[in-house]
């Protein structure tokens, strides 16, 4: 009887897959000045819904520029009414000839809607360029499939 019980347990499985849908507009970006003599003031961008009609929050880099080797604190603050919709935040860094990379941001443990990542600008000592940070807010889609075959 044991083989039949194992077969029954294996035959009825439920898999849950998580996928993500971008919640904000794909053009929510700002420019970081790399190669400045001194760190500059923070720069921010308003994060909007995918249609651009609703303000969801703010994306910021502090400082907004500086010499190569500058540590930039990148933050996202989502408005309270949308914070529970966001399950993940990331920032895409386009550094021109140096390439494109995407970094997941860490959710603040004290509450919903605040995300952060720290990035250090890299390059040669005399390099001057403008990097683009594109903010991406994600909402979770969960689909469950039942295989009772």
Domain assignment present for residue 68? The answer is: yes
Nearest to 66 by CA among 133, 120, 132, 135: 120
pTM of the predicted model as reported, rounded to 2 decimal places = 0.82
Beta-strand pair 55-62/71-78? antiparallel
Q: What would the pLDDT profile of 1-60 be if each residue is shown by its tens digit?
A: 444 433 333 444 445 678 999 999 999 999 999 999 999 999 999 999 999 999 999 999
Domain assignment present for residue 11? The answer is: no
Domain assignment present for residue 22? The answer is: yes
Beta-strand pair 129-147/13-22? antiparallel
Alpha carbons 133 and 32: distance in angstroms, whole number: 7
Q: The CATH number of the domain where 119 resides is what?
A: 2.60.40
Q: How many domains does the chain have?
A: 1
Helix, strand, or coil here: 110? coil
Q: What would the pLDDT profile of 59-117 be if each residue is shown by its tens digit?
A: 999 999 999 999 999 999 999 999 999 999 999 999 999 999 999 999 998 778 999 99
Q: Which domain holds residue 68?
A: 16-140
């Amino acid at each position: 009887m044991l083989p039949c019980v194992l077969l029954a347990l294996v035959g009825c499985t439920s898999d849950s897959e998580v996928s993500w849908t971008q919640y904000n507009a794909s053009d929510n970006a700002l420019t970081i000045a790399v190669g400045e003599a001194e760190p500059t003031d923070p720069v921010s961008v308003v994060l909007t819904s995918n249609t651009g009609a609703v303000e969801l929050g703010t994306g910021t880099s502090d400082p907004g520029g500086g010499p190569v080797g500058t540590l930039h604190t990148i933050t996202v603050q989502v408005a309270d009414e949308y914070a529970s919709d966001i399950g993940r935040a990331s920032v895409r860094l386009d550094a021109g000839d140096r390439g494109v990379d995407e970094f997941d941001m860490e959710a603040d443990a004290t509450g919903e809607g605040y995300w952060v990542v720290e990035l250090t600008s890299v390059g040669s000592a005399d390099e001057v360029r403008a990097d683009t940070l594109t903010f991406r807010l994600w909402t979770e889609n969960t689909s469950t499939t039942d295989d009772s075959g």
